[in-house]
Homo-oligomer: A and B are copies of this chain.
Amino acid sequence: MSVNKVILVGRLGRDPEVRYLPNGEAVANFGVATSEQWKDRNGERQERTEWHNITMYRRLAEIAGQYLKKGSQVYIEGRIQSRKYTGKDGVERTAYEIIANEMKMIGGRDMGGSSSDFDGGDYAASSSASAAPVAAASSVPPAAPRREVNKPAPVVDDLDDDIPF
């Protein structure tokens, strides 16, 4: 028995990148920034920003592609997952990402999200999605040449690229 839970509230650095697995399942990737402020011992205001790589599958991925935009503020629940990969430089590294199983749009108004088609909402991964991790390949982030996003999202044959995030 164990628990591996992450709760984030932050903003997207870019529009989500949505891709499709050979079996038709959608996969969305995007970064979410959280930042903390504090005063150091000299009383100086400090800030530190952390970028979280988010991965969503299926319906959640599709919703992200439709409604989330660069700058959108989101509440995300998920789990931490690490993954080994070999970079173009032939070096093995470990990437970590948050596999989301729940997402809620925050703040609403129109920052990142056209209020005309949508005004806030919350979504959960299908039960099976949350229980059954998809094959490793599916959680590999987009390759070097970025493609169009939120558009006629291309069906890709192989997500097994060598560059993470």
Contact = CB atoms under 8 A, between A and B. Distances in A.
B7 A7 contact: yes
Contact of A2 (B1, B8, B81): B8
Interface in A6-61: 6-11, 33-41, 46, 48, 50-52
Assembly of this chain: how many copies? 4
B124 A73 contact: no
Interface in A80-121: 80-82, 89, 91, 93-94, 96, 104-109, 120-121
Interface residues of A, number: 53
B75 A9 contact: yes
A5 interface: yes
13 contacts: A2-B33, A2-B35, A3-B75, A6-B80, A9-B75, A38-B131, A41-B132, A48-B133, A50-B80, A52-B80, A80-B80, A91-B91, A126-B127
